[in-house]
């Protein structure tokens, strides 16, 4: 990589990954408690915007699903549908014990975690995790995106 | 009754940024007017009441933190009061604990109203109010963290008292917050109260009159905005509320704007209540001494045989109240929050029922939305302030 007379040399792969990790747009969607902490993480003290994280209201403009809260069996197909509506490339973060394993709500009506329906990239334990934990998840996800190989020639991904 | 024919059926939610969670509405429209609507709930149903039947009384407490996750302390308080009534120890609770409970409940009310204010204003297009409201809410969260250890789910109430006494830092910070907060309420008011956009979005929208509100069983700020002064804190005082002077704000019109004004005034009253509590709070223990109800202090558990056995007994067998039925209610930020427990004499409740104010308050929604514009739906839902965790339980 180097800068000479306005010419920027880089691997296309690095450039794409750099672009993707700097503008993760999550879906403004939460089912329960952790959603309040997500709002706190987005609001004045913690300020998600400085990471380029801007909440969007429709899944069609998003590339990140931050799943906050308990997933009930009635909600699961809708989350699956939201995930399918999001364009590729996309990532998912499971926030809180409920989205990881169902937490204390081991009843007839709850799903045992987000990974039953959607592939999850980062798990954040806690009930509810503090906004700082949201940051760590985001930083881990950015590291993961950095290692991504967006261009594959000749074979199926 | 025959339904009026609609031109368009519009589905709103469950993923909608302005429905305060996962409420789904099916709106039948004629032009831009709503002729019929259905509210579909149950998207965060977690079976909390069933869960409570299989847990010991002490173990139920963390579950109720998570039912109404914006006002965890009030939920705990309601349950704790119900169990204490069942055990017949409601008069034995130390006075300091009673005052601490009131302080925490009122701080929770402020934090809950701040979230309501922030999101309600954000939905109606006032982004800056959201940022301001959360700035002050973070201060309350710091206070919770200092005294209870948790931000959102504090787990501060105990059957027979509260978890911990205050620290010096907590009292200093609380005093600082109380000094600063009334000014901040004025700030929010300058942004909204006489704002022309805010007035036209809220005034005369979603009117619930007094009689309708009472007939539908509505409680809390919505009822008080309609002209009734029903408040559990005044009518059936619990904890230390009978020793404290405060006003119950009542307005007449029952529209979205009046609900806004009631909640703003309630925040001011909460500040007043906490100030009085800090002045009147006596020194002393914060838990009762009966170790069949509350765990003995840790020093005793680690150093004495008796303490260890008491701790062990209580953890293994739990609290065993006598058979009977009990109802206890508190004034939550959303209305009368009641707990009805049926005990069969074992260490687990036979049946536990929550009276969720949110569910009863939004039951009127299909009736209320009739003949309103689609844009008003957001304004009305926001003003009813439902919390889906509590609606579905």
Tell me the two tokens of residue B363.
């039951």
Pairwise CB contact (< 8 Å): B70 & A36: yes
Number of helical (H) and strand (E) elements in chain A, helices listed first: 5, 5
Cis, peptide link before residue B356, omega less than 30° from 0: no
**Residue among B382, B334, B341 nearest B356 (CA):** B334
Region B292-307: mean pLDDT is: 86
Chain B CB contacts of A45 under 8 Å are 134-135, 138
Between A1-10, B304-313, B363-372, the lowest mean confidence (pLDDT) is in: A1-10
Q: What is the Cα–Cα distance from B272 to A26, expressed in whole angstroms?
A: 40
In chain B, % of residues over pLDDT 90: 11
Torsion angle of the four alpha carbons A51, A52, A58, A59, in this order, in degrees rounded to the nearest 10: -70
Q: Is the pLDDT of residue A2 over 60?
A: no
CATH number at residue B185: 1.10.645.10
- Does B204 fall in a domain? yes
Pairwise CB contact (< 8 Å): B44 & A27: no
What average pLDDT is seen over chain B? Answer: 88
How far is residue B287 from each of residues A37, B100, B102, B297, B311, measured CA to CA in Å?
A: 31, 11, 15, 10, 15
Q: Which of B40, B44, B123, B358 to mutate to test the interface with A (most CBs of A within 10 A)?
A: B44
- Does B361 fall in a domain? yes
- Does B376 fall in a domain? yes
Show the domain range for B364: 48-392
Yes or no: say if B46 and A72 are a contact pair by the CB < 8 Å rule. Answer: yes
**Residue among B267, B73, B70, B97 nearest B178 (CA):** B267
Region B319-324: mean pLDDT is: 88
pLDDT attached to residue A34: 87
Pairwise CB contact (< 8 Å): A36 & B152: yes
Pairwise CB contact (< 8 Å): A104 & B44: no
Pairwise CB contact (< 8 Å): A57 & B134: no
Torsion angle of the four alpha carbons B333, B334, B336, B339, in this order, in degrees rounded to the nearest 10: -90
Yes or no: say if A142 and A134 are a contact pair by the CB < 8 Å rule. Answer: no
The predicted-structure confidence for B209-219, as pLDDT tens digits, reads as follows 889 989 998 99
Q: What is the Cα–Cα distance from B227 to B286, expressed in whole angstroms?
A: 38
Longest dimension (CA), chain A: 65
Give the distance from residue A69's alpha carbon to the nearest chain B alpha carbon, in angstroms.
9
pLDDT attached to residue B326: 92
Between A113-127, B249-263, B287-301, the lowest mean confidence (pLDDT) is in: B287-301
Yes or no: say if B104 and B130 are a contact pair by the CB < 8 Å rule. Answer: no
- Does B324 fall in a domain? yes
pLDDT attached to residue A157: 52
Chain A CB contacts of B22 under 8 Å are 31, 75
pLDDT attached to residue B2: 64
Q: Is the pLDDT of residue A154 over 80?
A: no
Region B374-379: mean pLDDT is: 88
Region A6-17: mean pLDDT is: 82
pLDDT attached to residue A146: 87
Region B310-335: mean pLDDT is: 89
- Does B127 fall in a domain? yes
Minimum Cα–Cα distance from A83: chain B residue? B15
pLDDT attached to residue A123: 92
Q: Is the pLDDT of residue B347 over 60?
A: yes
Q: Is the pLDDT of residue A156 over 70?
A: no
Nearest-Å Rg of the Cα atoms of chain A is 17
Angle at A64 between CA A141 and CA A128, to 5 degrees: 75
In chain A, % of residues over pLDDT 70: 96
Domain count, chain B: 1
The predicted-structure confidence for A16-26, as pLDDT tens digits, reads as follows 888 888 888 99
Region B178-187: mean pLDDT is: 90
The predicted-structure confidence for B101-133, as pLDDT tens digits, reads as follows 999 999 999 999 999 998 888 888 888 888 999
**Tally of CB atoms within 10 A around B266:** 24
The residue ranking higher by pLDDT, B6 or B261, is B261
> For residue B370, what pLDDT band results from cuts at 50, 70 and 90?
confident
pLDDT attached to residue B191: 87
pTM: 0.89
Residues in Cβ contact with B223 at an 8 Å cutoff, skipping those fewer than 6 apart: B213, B214, B230, B335
- Does B223 fall in a domain? yes
Q: What is the Cα–Cα distance from A20 to A14, expressed in whole angstroms?
A: 10
Of B45, B134, B389, the CB nearest to A109: B45
Query: Where do runs of H (alpha helix) occur along chain B?
Result: 48-53, 57-65, 72-87, 95-123, 127-148, 168-192, 196-202, 210-215, 221-225, 232-235, 256-280, 298-303, 305-317, 357-362, 365-369, 374-384, 388-392
> For residue A98, what pLDDT band results from cuts at 50, 70 and 90?
confident
pLDDT attached to residue A153: 74
- Does B32 fall in a domain? no
Chain B CB contacts of A59 under 8 Å are 15
Torsion angle of the four alpha carbons B109, B110, B116, B120, in this order, in degrees rounded to the nearest 10: 150
Residue B277: HSE in the Cβ half-sphere, 13 Å Cα cutoff: 29
pLDDT attached to residue B108: 92
pLDDT attached to residue B153: 87
- Does B5 fall in a domain? no
Q: What is the 3-state secondary structure (H, E, C) of B28-66?
A: EEECCEEEEEEEECCCCCCCHHHHHHCCCHHHHHHHHHC
């Amino acid at each position: 990589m180097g800068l000479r007379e306005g010419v920027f040399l880089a691997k296309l792969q690095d450039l794409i990954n750099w672009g993707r990790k700097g503008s993760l747009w999550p879906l403004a969607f939460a089912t329960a408690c952790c959603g309040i902490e997500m709002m706190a993480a987005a609001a004045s003290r913690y300020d998600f915007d400085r990471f380029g994280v801007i909440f969007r209201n429709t899944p069609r403009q998003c590339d990140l699903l931050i799943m906050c809260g308990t997933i009930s069996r009635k909600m699961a197909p809708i989350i699956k549908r939201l995930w399918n509506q999001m364009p590729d490339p996309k990532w998912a973060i499971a926030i809180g014990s409920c989205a990881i394993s169902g937490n204390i709500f081991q009843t007839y009506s709850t799903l045992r975690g987000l990974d039953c329906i959607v592939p999850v990239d980062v798990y954040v334990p806690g009930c509810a995790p503090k906004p700082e934990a949201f940051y760590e998840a985001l930083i881990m996800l950015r590291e993961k995106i950095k290692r991504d190989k967006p261009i594959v020639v000749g074979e199926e991904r | 009754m025959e339904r009026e024919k609609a031109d368009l059926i519009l589905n709103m939610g469950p993923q909608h940024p302005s429905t305060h969670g996962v409420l789904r509405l099916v709106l039948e429209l004629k032009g831009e007017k709503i002729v019929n609507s259905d509210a579909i709930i149950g998207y965060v149903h977690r079976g909390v009441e069933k869960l409570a039947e299989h847990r010991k009384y002490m173990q139920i407490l963390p579950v109720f933190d998570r039912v109404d996750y914006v006002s965890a302390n009030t939920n705990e308080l309601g349950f704790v009061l119900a169990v204490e009534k069942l055990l017949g120890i409601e008069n034995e609770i130390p006075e300091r604990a009673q005052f601490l409970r009131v302080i925490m409940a009122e701080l929770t009310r402020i934090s809950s109203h701040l979230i309501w204010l922030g999101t309600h204003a954000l939905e109606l297009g006032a982004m800056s109010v959201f940022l301001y409201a959360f700035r002050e809410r973070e201060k309350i969260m710091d206070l919770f963290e200092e005294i209870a250890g948790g931000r959102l789910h504090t787990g501060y109430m105990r059957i027979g008292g509260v978890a911990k006494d205050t620290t010096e830092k907590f009292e200093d910070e609380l005093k600082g917050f109380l000094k600063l907060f009334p000014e901040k309420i004025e700030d929010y008011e300058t942004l909204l109260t006489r704002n022309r956009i805010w007035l036209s979005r809220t005034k005369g929208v979603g009117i619930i009159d007094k009689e309708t509100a009472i007939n539908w069983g509505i409680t809390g700020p919505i009822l008080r905005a309609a002209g009734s002064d029903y408040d559990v804190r005044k009518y059936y005082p619990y904890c230390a509320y009978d020793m404290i002077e405060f006003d119950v704000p009542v307005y007449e019109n029952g529209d979205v704007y009046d609900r806004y004004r009631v909640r703003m005034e309630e925040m001011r009253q909460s500040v007043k209540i906490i100030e009085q509590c800090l002045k009147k709070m006596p020194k002393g223990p914060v838990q009762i001494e009966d170790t069949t109800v509350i765990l003995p202090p840790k020093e005793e558990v680690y150093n004495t045989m008796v303490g260890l056995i008491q701790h062990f007994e209580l953890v293994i067998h739990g609290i065993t109240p006598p058979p009977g039925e009990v109802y206890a209610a508190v004034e939550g930020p959303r209305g009368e929050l009641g707990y009805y427990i049926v005990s069969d004499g074992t260490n687990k409740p036979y049946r536990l029922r929550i009276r969720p104010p949110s569910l009863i308050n939004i039951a009127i929604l299909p009736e209320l939305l009739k003949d309103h514009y689609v844009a008003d739906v957001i304004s009305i839902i926001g003003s009813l302030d439902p919390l889906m965790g509590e609606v579905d339980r």
